[in-house]
Structure 1
Amino acid sequence: MGERTGGFCVPDHLIEAETDTVEIVTLRKSELADWLAGQAESERVWIRSLGFTAEPGAVCLCPGPESRFGRVLFGLPEGDDFWAFAQLPAKLPPGRYRINPEPSPDLAYRAALGWALAGYSFDRYKSRSPKPLPDLAWPQCAERAKVKAAFDAIALVRDLINTPASDMGPAELAAAAEKLAAQFGATCRVIVGDGLLAENYPAIHAVGRAAAAHRRPRLIDLVWGPEQAPKVTLVGKGVCFDTGGLDLKPSSNMKLMKKDMGGAAHVLGLASMIMEARLPVRLRVLIPAVENCVSGDAMRPLDVLATRKGTSVEIGNTDAEGRLILCDALFEACRDKPALLIDIATLTGAARSALGPDLPALFSDDEVLAADILRAGEAEADPLWRLPLYKPYRRMLDSKVADINNANDSPHAGAITAALFLQDFVDPALAWAHLDVLAWNPSGRPGRPEGGEAQGLRALFAVIEERFA
C-alpha cells in the first residue's frame, strides 16, 4: 500500500526522477499523425506494423538500442479520464518510467494518483506478496502533498472496509480513530457501553446492546483545530457488522456486511485529508460504532426507542439500524452549530437500486451546498447524484404510537425516506449534506480493485477546501 513516512503514506511505485528511465509518450488519436511525421521511418514502420492508433489505453513498446525497448507510446482519451494512467502499470514490463511531454499540473496529479492507486492491494491476510509493478518518476508539476494525502485517505478507507468484522469491531474502529488522532495531534474521546445511557445516547446503545461484551457499542468523538475556527463536523455510520437484528438478513444480503461501517471509514479518510492539509477549521468527527446482532437483548420490531433529541422512534424494522445510531450523533453534532455538517452512510439498498454501485446518492436542502458538491464531483471525477428530500414522503414514516417510525412498509422511495428520517434530527438552519454510499467495488477495474472503496471523498474535500481554506 505504501511506506508510512511522517504523517502520510509515500505511494508505492512513485520515485524520484532518474536518468535511467524509459520515456512514456502520451498521444491522443488526433495527435498521432503529426507526431509520427517527426519520427524516423524505421519507427513509423514499427508502430504501424503493430497497429497502434493511439486508442485510449493502447500501449506500444518501441525498440531501442541493445535489444531493449526505447520508449512507450500510450493512448489518451480526447477528453479527461481520471483513471487513464491507472491502467498503464499492469501493461508495462518491470522498470522505471517517466512521462513525456511533461503533463499539465492537473494531468500530472491524475497520472501520479492513478499510477499509485493501481498499486493498491489489500494483502493483510495473504502469505504471498502482490506482483511487483513498474515505477513512475514523479511528474514535475504534480502536487506531491495533494497526491500523497489523497492516496493515504483512499487507502485508509479501503483498508478499514476490507478488514473482516472479526478484526474490525467497534473497539478496533475506535482504535483506528485514536491512531489517526495521535498522528495529527487531535483529541479522541470514546464513550463505551452503558456510558452511552449515562450521557444520553440511547438509540446508539439500543442498536448495539445485543453484541458480545468485547464488542460493546460506543461513540467516537474526534476533535482537531483551533476552537475559534469555523466548525466542520463529519458524522459516519459505523455498523461494524449488520445481521439485520431480529429482522434477520438472508445470507446473500449479509455476506458483505463487514462494509456497513463504510461511512465511518469515509469520515476518517476525509478527516485525514483535512488535517494533512492543515485547513483552518475546527474539525469534529462523530462515529457511532456498533454491531447489529441477534441475542436476548436485541431490540424488537415495534419496540419504541428514546433518542438524544427526545423524539420517540417506533422500530418498524430492526434492519434499519443505521439511521437510529446516526440520529443520536447528528443531534449532538448540531449542538455546536457547525458551519458545515456532512454525514456519510452505507444506508439503503434503495439508493443502489436507483443509482447503481458507482454513484453515491446526495441529499441536501441547501441548494448552494448541493450544487458545490455536484460541481466538485464532476471536476474531481468523483461523481455523485442528487436525490430529493421530497417532504410529502415523510408521511410514510408516521407512527401510531411514537413520534416517528424508523422504516416504512412501502417498497418505494427507501433512500428518500431514510434521508427524511435523518433530517428530523438536523437543525434546519445548518448547511447539511447526507451521502448514501455503497463503499464497495463489485468488480475490479484499473486503480479500483474489487472490495472497499472511497466514494465522494475527493469531491467533499474540494468543497471544504474551497469554503474554508
Structure 2
Amino acid sequence: MPKSRTVPLIFVEEGTVASSGLTEAQLRWASHNRFTGQHGRLLPVPGADGALTAYLFGIGDAADRPIMMAGLAAANLPQGSYRLEGAYGDPTMAAIAFRLGAYRFDRYKKGKGGAPVLAGPGRADTAEVARLTDAAYLARDLINTPANDLGPDAFEREIRAFATRHKMKLKAIVGDDLLKANFPLIHAVGRASAQPPRLLDLSWGNVRHPKVTLVGKGVTFDTGGLDIKPSAGMLLMKKDMGGAANVLGLAHAIIDAGLKLRLRVLIPVVENSIAGAAFRPGDILPSRRGLTVEIGNTDAEGRLILADALALADEESPELLLDMATLTGAARVALGPELPPLYSTDDKLARDLMAAGLLADDPLWQMPLWAPYDAMMNSKIADVNNAGAGGFAGSITAAMFLKRFVLQATAWVHLDIYGWAPEARAGRQFGGTDQGIRAVYGVLKQRYPAA
C-alpha cells in the first residue's frame, strides 16, 4: 500500500456487522466473504478499482476477547500506516496492544519487512503508550539477542548506554573486585567464563523520596555449569538474563513517567560456563550476608547471584525491594509460560499487583512463601543448600532461599518469570517477551504518582 495512506482497521464484534457503521459496499463485501466478526479474522476490503481501502477485524464476543486483541491484528498486517475504527475499546490499551503486536525482531534477517505502524487513536495517552511499548521492546530485544552478541561485556555496554540515556548514576564492580567488595556468590558463579562476572548498580531520583530497588537476574547464558544441562535444556538459555531485561524495561517506564521515588537497579551479570575455574557441586561458598551456601546443584545458579544482590539492596532498608528472574522450570510446570508466580512478604501488595496485571494483560499469580518448605533447603554442613531436597515445590523453595537474604526491606516481591513466548498470541510475538513490567508499573504509578 502507498506509505502516505492511513488505512482504517475497523473492529467488529461478533454478530454486529449490520450495526457497525460500515458502508453499503463494505457490508456487501463482508456478507460475500461470510465475515460476521469472528474472533481474530482479518478481512481486506477492496475499493471499486481493486485497491485496498480498509481491513475488517473480527473481535468475537466479550467472553473470548483478550485485552490485547488489537495486537492480534497488528501481528498479521503488512507494512503500512493504520488507524483504529469501530469497537476497539479503551484507546490507550488498544494502541499499546497494536504496538506490542507489531513488534518484530529482524536484526539477523536479510530483506527485512517493515512493521505496521499506528496513527492515533487521538484519545489515547500517547506518552503512556510510548513508554510502555518502548519498555516491552527493550526487554524483548535484549532477550532475543543471542549470547554470542550479548555476553557479560556486551550486556554491560547495553546497561551503560541505558544509564546514560536515562541520566542514571552507574557503578560497576567487575571480576576479582567482587571478592574485595564482598560479593562472593556472584564471583563464584561467573568466574569460569572468559568474560568476568560483574555487578552493575544504577540509581536515579531524589534521595528524599521513597526507596524502590529492582534486582534483575543477568545470566547471559546458562550451561548449567558442571551439572550441565542437556542440549534441549540449553537451547533457550540466552533468555536467562530475562529478569534483568525486564527490570530495565520497568526502570525505563518509571523514569520516563517521572514517578516520585528513589530508584535503584542492581543487575548481577554472569555467564555460567564450564572451565577449570568453575564452582563445583559440594562446594561451600560464603555469601555477602554471611550465610554459607552448600552447592547442591550448579544449575541453581540464579538464586546465588540474586542472593548477594538482594543482600546489598536490603542493607539500605528500601520501602519496596522487587526482583525478577527466569529462575525455575518448576514455575512453568506449576503455572505454565504465561502466568509468572509472584511471592511477597506483603499480601496486600501482592493482591494489588495481580489486579494491575489483569487490567494490563500482564498476569501474575501469588504463590505462598510456605515456611515449612524452608527446611528443604537445609544443609548438614552449611547454613543452607542452594538446591531443595527431593525435587518438590521447586519455585517455592527457590523463593524461600532468596527470602533468607532479605531482612530489612519493608516489602519484598519476587517474580519467577519465564521471559519467553513459546507461541505467538495477542500482543506477544514468539520469542523473548516482557513479563511483569505493566503490572508493577501500574502499582508504582498509583503509589508514587509523578509530581
Please, what TM-score do these two structures have when normalized by structure 2? 0.94
Contact 1:26 1:101 in 2 (8 A): yes
Q: Which runs of 5+ in 2 are unaligned?
A: none
Aligned to 2:43: 60
Task: Please tell me the residue identity of whatever aligns with 2:164.
Answer: A
Shift in Å, 1:225: 0.5
Shift of 1:132: 2.9
AA paired with 1:157? A
- Structure 1: runs of 5 or more not aligned: 1-12
Residue 242 (structure 1) aligned with residue 222 (structure 2)? yes
Q: Does 1:28 pair with 2:13?
A: yes
Work out the CA distance in 2 between the residues paired with 1:440 and 1:92. Answer: 23
Residue matched to 2:287: 307
The residue type equivalent to 2:39 in the other structure is: P
Deviation of 1:257 after TM superposition, in Å, equals: 1.1
Deviations 1:250-305 (A, max 9, x none): 11111211111111111111111111111111100001111111122111111111
Query: Aligned pair 1:50/2:30, yes or no?
Result: no
Q: Give the direction of change, closer, same or farther, for the CA distance of 1:133–1:206 in structure 2 (3 Å limit).
A: closer
Which sits farther off after the overlay, 412-421 or 57-66? Answer: 57-66
Query: Using a 3 Å threshold, how does the CA distance of structure 1 residues 356 and 464 change in structure 2: closer, same or farther?
Result: same
Instruction: Give the conservation status (yes or no) of the 8 Å contact 1:103–1:141.
Output: no
Q: Deviations along 1:14-69, whole A, 9 cap, x unmatched? A: x9xx8x53333322125334347x853x5544322211111122233344344434
- Between the aligned partners of 1:321 and 1:353, the Cα distance in structure 2 is 19
> 1:143 maps to which residue?
125
Partner residue of 1:171? Answer: 153
Against the structure 1 CA distance between its residues 416 and 201, is the aligned structure 2 distance closer, same or farther, given a 3 Å change threshold?
same
Does the 8 A contact of 2:102 with 2:117 survive in 1?
no
In structure 1, how many angstroms separate the alpha carbons of the residues matched to 2:324 and 2:78?
40
Counterpart position of 1:407: 387
Question: What is the CA deviation profile of residues 191-237 of structure 1, one whole-angstrom value per residue up to 9, with x for unaligned ones?
Answer: 0011111111111111111112xx10100000000111111100011
Match for residue 203 of structure 1 among 168, 185, 196: 185
The corresponding residue for 1:158 is 140
> How much has 1:99 moved relative to structure 2?
2.1
CA RMSD of aligned residues (A): 2.1
Distance 1:291 1:23, change over 3 A: closer
Alpha carbons of 1:412 and 1:136: their partners in 2 closer, same or farther (altered >3 Å)? same
C-alpha distance in 1, partners of 2:321/2:356? 17
1:188 corresponds to which residue?
Answer: 170
Contact 1:103 1:139 survives alignment (8 Å)? no
Asked if 1:117 corresponds to 2:97, the answer is no
The match for 1:347 among 302, 318, 327 is 327
Which has the higher mean CA deviation after the structures are superposed, 250-259 or 87-96?
87-96
Letter in 1 for 2:295: I
Q: Tell me the amino acid that sits aligned with residue 54 of structure 1.
A: G
Say whether residues 1:443 and 2:428 are aligned partners.
no
Counterpart mapping for 1:397-436 below 5 A: 397-427=377-407, 430-436=410-416
Q: Which residues of 2 match residues 291-302 of structure 1 at below 5 A? A: 291-302=271-282
AA aligned to 2:108 is Y
Task: Identify the residue that residue 264 of structure 1 maps to in structure 2.
Answer: 244
Residue 165 of structure 1: how far off its partner (Å): 1.1
TM-score (norm 1): 0.90
Opposite residue 32 of structure 1, the aligned amino acid is V
Q: 1:415: how far off?
A: 0.6
Paired amino acid for 1:388: P
CA contact (8 A) 2:17 2:27 kept: no
Contact 1:441–1:449 (CA under 8 A) maintained in structure 2 = yes
% identical equivalent positions: 49
* Alignment-mate amino acid for residue 12 of structure 2: L
Q: Cα distance 1:143–1:127, how it changes in 2: closer, same or farther (>3 A)? A: same
> In the superposition, relative to structure 1, how do residues 319 and 52 fare at CA in structure 2: closer, same or farther (>3 Å)?
same
2 CA distance for matches of 1:420 and 1:118? 36
